[in-house]
Each structure stands twice: as C-alpha cells, then as structure tokens.
Amino acid sequence: MAGSSDFKCPFNLQHQDEYELDQDGNVLLSVKLDKDNVQCCVCYEFMTSVIFRCQNPGHVHNVCSSCEWQIRRMKTANGHSKPQCCPLCSYQAPFVRNAVLEKQLFNISIPCSQKNCPERFFPWDEESRLAHMKNCMHSASICPLCNGIVKHGVTGFVHHIEGSNMIEKDNCSLEFKKRQTETDVDKHLFTRIRTGESSYVINERGGYVLLFLWKKFYFDVIAMACAPELGSLGNDQIYLDWVRTQELEVYKEKIKCSNYLQEIRIPVYTSIISNILRLKPRLSTNNNNQNPIHCGQIFCGELHESIEITVRFFTLAEGLRPGSTIECRDFTEKWYEAEVFKITAAETSSCVPTQRNVNPLVNRRILVHYLGYSANYDEWFDLSRDSHRIAHRGTHTIGPNLRAIRRNHHSAYRQSQNLNET
C-alpha cells in the first residue's frame, strides 16, 4: 500500500511474549495506546471522530477537528492570515485527514446510546459520555411550541409537528396545516399561507421547518432545525419576504398585458430576518423551562375575511456558490464586500478543492477574499457559528467596493496634480 512505510501504528504491544490463543485460532494480545494517537496534541481531548494530522515526515502530530479549525483561522496582529503550521513541530503545511487512525480508533470506541447519533466514546471516558448525553440533539427534547416531549430530538421534530407518530404518541398539541413549496424565477422557494390558520413548510435541502403560528391578527414565524447536520449550536439566519397574493397576481397580470414602457405599480414586500432555532434536550433544561422563542412576525391587521399571503424564504447557505459576492465583517469590526473562493465540508482539509455540487447541509465552511485587498486577508468562515459576521450583498455596504473607489480617486487626483505642475 502506498505510504504504508510512513505510517506508525498507534497500538504497541506491552509484552511481546504474552498472548492467548483460543480454540478458533484467534489471538488475544495486550496492547498499549500511545496518548499522542488518542488525545489531541493541542486540547488533550480524546479523539473519536474526525482526526487531522500534520504532514511532518519525521513525526506526525494529530489534532481534533475543532483545533484544526482554530489553527486554520489564526491571524497576525495586522489581520494577515497565518500560514498553517503544526503547533508542536512548527512544520508548515495544511493539516490532512488521518483516515487510518480514525478507522482504528473507531473499532475500539462505543457509540452513543441515542438512535442515529454519530458520536462515539472510549470505554474509559465516561465523563465525556455523560456530558454529551445532557446535550445530545438526538435525545428527548422539549417542543418550544407546546412544551411537549419530542422523543427522538431533532430527527423526530417533523413527525411531532405532523402528528404522524401514533405509536409513541408524542405529537404536538397544536394543529398545523402542511403547505407545499414552489420555486420562482430566481430559484427561491416560496409558499402560500392563509390567515386564520397555522401552517408549516419543510425545506429538506436546507434542513429546517418554517412554522407560521396564527395569533388573532398576525403570524409568529418560527424556523426550527430538523437536520442533525446543522448541529446543536449555531446562529443561522433565514431571510423572508412576504406580500399579499392578490396584489402579486395583479402585478404579474399587468406585466403580461402591458408593454415595457408603461408604468406599473410594484407590490409592497416586507422583509424579515430570523434565526433558525435548535431544540433543547430535556436533560439540559431546568424544570422543563424553555428560553423565550425568538421569532419574526407577519402583521396582517384586522381582517373581515381570510386572505392569502405569499412568503419567499431562503438562507445564505442555499445560495452560495464559488464566485458569489457576500458581505463579511473583518477583525476591525467593519463590513466589506468579499468573494467566495472555496466551499468545503467541516470534515475536509483546507487544501481539498471545492465541490461543484454544493450541499447546504454538508458544505458549511467558506473561504472568502475581501475585494480590493491583498490575499493575506483571506479568511475562513463557518456558516453556522459565524452568521453574525456574514450577510447578503447590500445589507451593510452601499455600491461597489470602497477601497477600489478610493484608489481610483487618489490616482486621478495625482494625475491632475502632475498636469497642473507641468
């Protein structure tokens, strides 16, 4: 096997002459695990999932995925990105996956007791397992709408809302009507809801459920994560634009019947930016008390009859592609336009090329380049944890890049001064 001569097995025999041979021919050996291959060399936590290693041919150092992410994002005092290097041996090269060590440690670790949970633990690390059980997103959680129990956590929330779980009987006490999604010309999803009734829509590609809870003369708009890929922590934002369906249909008809020179009144759109919430495990809450629900509102006013509303919704992750222009906040707390250079998954190294088919549930990390600035300021962002530092284009900045305008202005000014001197 290529590269097998450079691999060092993490399992060392304690005594070469001590072994047991059973009747089936199986050999039982007493082995010793090297702590550098079991614990992260930076944070000293046990590694049971994704493991990265430095590319030092002399001695390999292994780090966990969290520490690799922090090393990748390190900057100097002036905001320049630091070249990736091993914090122990200072070997300068990007970290790569240690798939061989991952497979070997996988065989000696035990899975979480919750169904569909990918987390694993070593038999001697009981403390980490108990801490994980309190915040496991697959464990029984509390519904923020009815304060009921969602037995299977994030994966069972859709069945809880739909009321289709008749066996375990953990359905939501509130009644919701399911709405279908459609795609507009700009490839954005939209749905139609009606006043006087609560409804919901599922976005499987984005991994969230959008709830419209009717409250007398307005809707409470609540977005809940229903995919484990989004994680138990995060501050993902969802963008909504709503308009009365009747006004929108009249506008579309006028466009079809009128020529392009005729003046047509555009319907009024109202925008909402809300957060995608996560379910809280029952063990992590005290006395079943949930935090206040952060949601948006669609105010319809006092109505004499039911009306239909068209709602368009999307997240930043669903529309990102290599070459997209977004806004990012740098280390000086200022917003600048930036271009997306690379989109990768959390389990991949920084040197892996970006994928052509971007999945918003898997590809959650982006490398951006600030327009008009040196490549030394390029920066990595996580779409879940860093949503407060990224936004759609035009949210915080106006017009083209200000640095480019400033440079052009100064060059034109210098040219005019030279002409005046001559």
Question: For residue 378, what pLDDT is reported?
Answer: 92
Does the pLDDT at position 270 exceed 50? yes
Question: For residue 117, what pLDDT is reported?
Answer: 87
Question: For residue 1, what pLDDT is reported?
Answer: 39
What DSSP assignment string belongs to 294-353? --EEEE----SS--EEEEEEEEHHHH--TT-EEEEE-TTS-EEEEEEEEEE-TTS-TTSP
* Nearest-angstrom CA–CA distance, 122 and 38: 10
Start-end ranges of CATH 2.30.30.140 in the chain? 320-404
The residue with greater pLDDT, 21 or 224, is: 224
Fold of 320-404: SH3 type barrels. (2.30.30)
Q: Using alpha carbons only, what angle is made at residue 149 by residues 147 and 153, rounded to the nearest 5 degrees?
A: 115
Q: Look over the chain and give the mean of its residue pLDDT values, rounded to a whole number.
A: 82
Question: For residue 420, what pLDDT is reported?
Answer: 61
Instruction: Give the residue-averaged pLDDT of 286-302.
Output: 71
Give 1-36 pLDDT, tens digit per residue: 344 444 455 555 445 555 677 777 777 766 677 888
* Nearest-angstrom CA–CA distance, 275 and 273: 7
Per-position b or e across 94-119, b if 16+ CB within 10 A of its CB? bbbbbebbbebbeeebeebebeebeb
Question: For residue 399, what pLDDT is reported?
Answer: 63
Question: For residue 401, what pLDDT is reported?
Answer: 61
Residue 285 pLDDT grade (very low, low, confident, very high; cuts 50, 70, 90): low
Question: What does the block give as tokens for 169?
Answer: 């009987």
Question: For residue 5, what pLDDT is reported?
Answer: 44
What DSSP assignment string belongs to 58-107? S---EEEHHHHHHHHT-B-TTSPBPPPB-TTT--BS--EE-HHHHHHHHH
* Nearest-angstrom CA–CA distance, 169 and 80: 55
Question: For residue 20, what pLDDT is reported?
Answer: 72
Tell me what percent of the residues of the chain surpass a pLDDT of 70.
84
Q: Which residue type, as a one-letter code, is found at position 82?
A: K
Instruction: Give the residue-averaged pLDDT of 406-421.
Output: 59
Return the residue matching tokens 């555009």: 266
The answer to which of 176-190, 219-233, 291-305 has the lowest mean pLDDT is 291-305
Question: What does the block give as tokens for 419?
Answer: 């002409």
The residue with greater pLDDT, 290 or 18, is: 18
Return the residue matching tokens 């992750």: 317
Question: For residue 216, what pLDDT is reported?
Answer: 86
Tell me what percent of the residues of the chain surpass a pLDDT of 90.
27
Give 38-72 pLDDT, tens digit per residue: 899 999 999 988 999 999 988 889 999 999 999 99
Three-state SS at 413: helix
Does the pLDDT at position 162 exceed 90? no
Q: Evaluate if pTM is beyond 0.85.
A: no
Question: What does the block give as tokens for 327?
Answer: 């806004």
Question: For residue 418, what pLDDT is reported?
Answer: 62
Residue 264 pLDDT grade (very low, low, confident, very high; cuts 50, 70, 90): confident
* Nearest-angstrom CA–CA distance, 336 and 327: 6
Question: For residue 97, what pLDDT is reported?
Answer: 92
Instruction: Give the residue-averaged pLDDT of 106-112.
Output: 89
Beta strands across the sheet bearing 325-329: 379-382, 365-370, 335-344, 325-329, 390-392
For 72, residues 6+ apart whose C-beta sits below 8 A from its C-beta are 84, 94, 95, 350, 380
Contact of 161 with 144, CB cutoff 8 Å: no
Instruction: Give the residue-averaged pLDDT of 301-315.
Output: 90
Q: How far is CA 88 from CA 71, 97, 124, in A?
A: 12, 17, 26
Spelled out in words, what is the top-level CATH class assigned to the domain 32-108?
alpha beta
The residue with greater pLDDT, 363 or 182, is: 182
Question: For residue 198, what pLDDT is reported?
Answer: 92
Q: With CA atoms as reference, report the closest residue to 38 among 63, 14, 57.
A: 63
Instruction: Give the residue-averaged pLDDT of 328-346.
Output: 89
| Helix locations, 136-207, DSSP H | 157-162
Question: For residue 168, what pLDDT is reported?
Answer: 57
Start-end ranges of CATH 3.30.40.10 in the chain? 32-108
Return the residue matching tokens 């630091």: 82
